[in-house]
């Protein structure tokens, strides 16, 4: 937990995870990939989820972001229980409260950099925010590439566009899935600085899944998973 946040009044949790269990049916019988995981993240906090491959990190991130329904247990984002919402309801919550950064960037290949950044706003019907999007692209150093399509950008540049997109709707929560996993060292450093810099500037809560111990170390807390169970929290 952030010491500065703790020194002031304890912030209300923006993300609450309670007894989260996820089971998939397989030919060999039910397979539990997440087993009774509970934690909270206060507003403005940063949390790293680490663990070996197959430990359930991505499943946990997906459930936290409302990308899937849990077998049991619950997730609340800004007090709203995701399990009570249908897919469209969860989409609304994501659009209003959540930003995403993916390992493989996930830009829409058919949209320019600027258009990619604008998508979350356009989905909620907001108009005339091109200047905000350009300002964010400027912030990530890509204002000059606003009209370029993803295929015309390098991996590092694509991830910076993805960052601008993640922050355009001023999310309360930013989920990052191995954000530097596909980048070289120099680009990884740039992107990391941008993530934490923007996080500070905008007071966003950060939840990131990573294999990178250095990246995890920059977070307030680290949650360690193994075989679907929480084994450690520091």
| Least distance in angstroms from the C-beta of 10 to other proteins | 29
Q: Which stretch binds other proteins (CB under 8 A): 34-42, 122-130, 190-198, 216-224?
A: 122-130
Tokens linked to 26: 């397989």
Q: Is 35 in the site for other proteins (CB under 8 A)?
A: no
Asked if residues 23 and 33 have their Cβ atoms less than 8 Å apart, the reply is yes
Q: Is 18 in the site for other proteins (CB under 8 A)?
A: no
Query: Which residue in the set 104, 193, 197, 200 belongs to the binding site for other proteins (CB under 8 A)?
Result: 104
Cβ-based burial of 36 (10 A; exposed 0-12, middle 13-18, buried ≥19)? middle
DSSP β-bridge partners for residue 100: 175
Footprint of other proteins on 168-227 (CB under 8 A): 177-178, 181, 209
Query: Which residue in the set 92, 189, 202, 221 belongs to the binding site for other proteins (CB under 8 A)?
Result: 92
Q: Is 123 in the site for other proteins (CB under 8 A)?
A: yes
Alpha carbon distance 221, 227 (integer Å): 20
What residues contact 19, with CB distance under 8 A and at least 6 apart?
36, 37, 38, 72, 73, 74
Footprint of other proteins on 134-163 (CB under 8 A): 149, 151
Complex with other proteins: residue 50 or 142, whichever CB lies closer: 50
* Mode of pairing for the β-strands spanning 221-226 and 229-233: antiparallel
Asked if residues 180 and 192 have their Cβ atoms less than 8 Å apart, the reply is yes
Q: Is 71 in the site for other proteins (CB under 8 A)?
A: no
Helical H runs in the chain? 3-7, 57-64, 87-97, 113-123, 130-139, 155-167, 185-202, 213-217
| Least distance in angstroms from the C-beta of 3 to other proteins | 30
Return residues touching other proteins (CB under 8 A).
53-58, 61-62, 65, 67-68, 87-88, 91-96, 98, 100, 102-104, 106, 108-111, 115, 119-120, 122-125, 127, 149, 151, 165, 177-178, 181, 209
């Amino acid at each position: 937990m952030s010491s500065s946040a703790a020194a002031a009044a304890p912030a209300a949790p923006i993300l609450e995870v309670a007894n989260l269990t996820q089971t998939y049916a397989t030919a060999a019988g039910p397979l539990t990939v997440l087993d009774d995981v509970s934690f909270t993240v206060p507003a403005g906090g940063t949390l790293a989820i680490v663990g070996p491959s197959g430990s359930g990190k991505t499943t946990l991130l997906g459930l936290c972001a409302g990308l899937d329904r849990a077998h049991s247990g619950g997730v609340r984002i800004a007090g709203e229980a995701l399990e009570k919402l249908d897919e469209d309801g969860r989409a609304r919550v994501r659009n209003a409260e959540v930003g995403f950064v993916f390992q493989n960037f996930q830009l829409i290949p058919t949209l320019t950099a600027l258009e990619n950044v604008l998508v979350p706003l356009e989905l909620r019907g907001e108009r005339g925010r091109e200047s905000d999007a350009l300002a964010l692209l400027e912030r990530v150093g890509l204002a000059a590439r606003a009209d370029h399509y993803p295929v015309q950008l390098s991996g590092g540049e694509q991830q910076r566009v993805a960052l601008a997109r993640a922050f355009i709707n001023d999310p309360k929560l930013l989920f990052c899935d191995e954000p530097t996993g596909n980048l070289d060292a120099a680009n990884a450093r740039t992107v990391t600085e941008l993530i934490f810099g923007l996080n500070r500037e905008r007071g966003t809560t950060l939840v990131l899944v990573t294999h990178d111990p250095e990246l995890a170390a920059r977070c307030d807390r680290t949650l360690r998973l193994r075989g679907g169970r929480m084994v450690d929290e520091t």
